[in-house]
Amino acid sequence: MAKYQSLLKMKYNGRGRTLSDNEIHQEYQRRYQSWSAHRTEMFPVLNNYRNRYDQSQRYPLFYTLTKKMESLLTDFGDNSLEIKELIQYLPVIAQQTYIRQNLVEEIYRSNEIEGVKTNRYELNTIASELVEGTGPVKRGRRLLSTVLLYLDSIEGRPISIHETTDYRTLYDELLRGEIPEESQPDGRLFRNSEVYVGSATQVRHVPVSSEGEIEQGLSSLIDYMKEDKSFPVIKGIVSHFIFENVHPFLDGNGRIGRYLLSAYLSEQVDMYTGMAISSAIFFERSRYYTLFKEAGDVLNFADLTMFIEGLLAIIVSGQERVITDLKQRKQELEEARKKLMMKMQSYFQNWTLSDCEEEFVAGILSLLLQSQMFENDFNQGLKLQKIVTRLKKDYRFPEVQVRRICHFLEEKGLLIRQQNRPVRYTLADDLHS
């Protein structure tokens, strides 16, 4: 069976003659009418890159479920299951720390793709304050609303898109304080002027220019997401293409589009896959943009098959990075635990502690080890109250005893106090190195 190609590449076949317009249109009709074609009622803007001012919006978007796509879907599902299994065997504190790290990385990489500079430490601080209550959340801080939206998505409260005004609500929340005044929408809700997507030297896409056309495109996307019964990841990829094709705002479309894809996969598949979207795209930026350009060419006739295959492969590669990272961190945590247990045994020989107190020591040090082994460059440790709450819930350790042992370990130099209000501890360096 011949390898499935984009209609654009098939027309300009480097191994033979260029197909005529009639021949390529016949191939389009054959694909579109095929029993394996999945047809939609969305009509993307297609550009003729050989003539800047020639566009078409007369072809409905469709795709074919190819053998390669089926294989990628299998890999996608298997990877999601493996990620869930790996996470399941991690201790709770390690899980919580890993979730925060992935959330921060998703926002950071999404901004990096657009060339927007972001401080990882600041993002971590905000996420830590919101998730763990590490300090008072200062309203008005840069990217606070962005972090809140991503947190809602992984906690099962993604923003709901029921009508076109919801896209404007998302824009206002996700990008609060991020878009300069001159780049704010110039229409009632969306832009109402012409834009060019790409660089100063290369235009990748010219979307519709009027607000009415934008609202029509977004309405058809909402209908598709409500009614289509495809695989969730395919629906997410198709909707990502259409949103970027419509390009409803003057600035920020890429960040909104990636948030929507991330939030949708977090809800429909698993949060770790959802939180790996922007990192996966970041490492394949050139391929990502090429996929958009080829899919949006008028000579591709709105056949999204190759775009879906390409972006699905990028997402699968992101899952594989998560799996590799989790396996490595899990192994490192197990090795660090063994070393910590050996060190504790030597300490216990020199201390006069009851068996119960030794259990408290092991529990406290284990929690802090989990936290620090799953941090990247950000390590504020754990709040004393969180240590107390976790050990009380897991082992029914009395609060007074836990606080007393923490103070004892601090005096021995095994815990380092990072702040006083609230009290936060990290492990001494030699306990986790």
Task: Give domain limits for the chain.
Answer: 7-324, 351-431
**Residue 37 host element (H or E):** strand 37-39
Q: pLDDT band at 405, cuts 50/70/90?
A: very high
38-49 pLDDT, tens digit each? 999 999 999 987
Kindly report the average pLDDT of the chain as a whole number: 91
Q: In the predicted model, is pLDDT for residue 115 greater than 80?
A: yes
239 is known to lie in a ligand binding site: no
Share of the chain above pLDDT 90, in %: 69
140 is known to lie in a ligand binding site: no
Q: Which backbone phi and psi does 188 adopt, to 5 degrees?
A: -65, -45
**Region 117-144 average pLDDT:** 80
164-174 pLDDT, tens digit each? 999 999 999 99
| Cis preceding linkage at 422, omega within 30 | yes
Please say whether the beta carbons of 294 and 8 come within 8 A: yes
Q: In the predicted model, is pLDDT for residue 281 greater than 60?
A: yes
Q: pLDDT band at 188, cuts 50/70/90?
A: very high
Of the ranges 249-253, 342-346, 349-353, the best mean pLDDT one:
249-253
pLDDT of residue 137: 64
263 is known to lie in a ligand binding site: no
252 is known to lie in a ligand binding site: yes
Alpha carbon 234 to its chain centroid, in Å, reads 16
- The residues carrying an active-site annotation are 247
Q: What fold does the segment set 351-431 form as a domain?
A: Arc Repressor Mutant, subunit A (1.10.10)
204 is known to lie in a ligand binding site: yes
Q: pLDDT band at 187, cuts 50/70/90?
A: very high
Indicate the residue type of 200: A
Lowest mean pLDDT among 55-64, 124-133, 170-179: 124-133
92 is known to lie in a ligand binding site: no
pLDDT of residue 433: 62
Q: In the predicted model, is pLDDT for residue 140 greater than 80?
A: no
Structure tokens at 234: 């395919």
216-269 pLDDT, tens digit each? 999 999 999 999 889 999 999 999 999 999 999 999 999 999 999 999 999 999
**Residue 427, exposed/middle/buried by CB under 10 A (0-12, 13-18, 19+)?**
buried
CATH number of 7-324: 1.10.3290.10
Radius of gyration of the chain (CA): 26
